[in-house]
Amino acid sequence: MPKKKRKGGFADVVRVVGLALVAAAVVKELRTPADEREWHGKLGFVPYELRPPTLARFKERVWAPDSDTLVGPRVFGVGWTVNLGRVWTLARHTVAHD
């Protein structure tokens, strides 16, 4: 059975935009003097994190039940991630009060 050509879709647009943002973040950092490069920051309002992931940063951004933020910067890459610890706390609080 011949394979059908896949038509472009929303996922393809998201992938291209994501790659463009990563490229823009790398270019931004490379244009910064070497001793001032941080490899994390924002492109407009979109956060980027290009430093190697650490367990501490993972816990801070993905599992921080006491944090006020539900969505924050990714552990690695461009964009946002959901603070699952905060989701868990909110869900537990909601169930406890029902």
* Angle, alpha carbons 70-76-82 (nearest 5°): 15
Determine the pLDDT at residue 8. 73
> Could you tell me how far CA 43 lies from the centroid of its own chain?
13
Cα→Cα distances 31→19, 20, 24, 64, 78, Å: 18, 16, 10, 34, 18
Block mean pLDDT (10 aa), the chain, length 98: 72 94 97 97 96 96 94 96 96 88
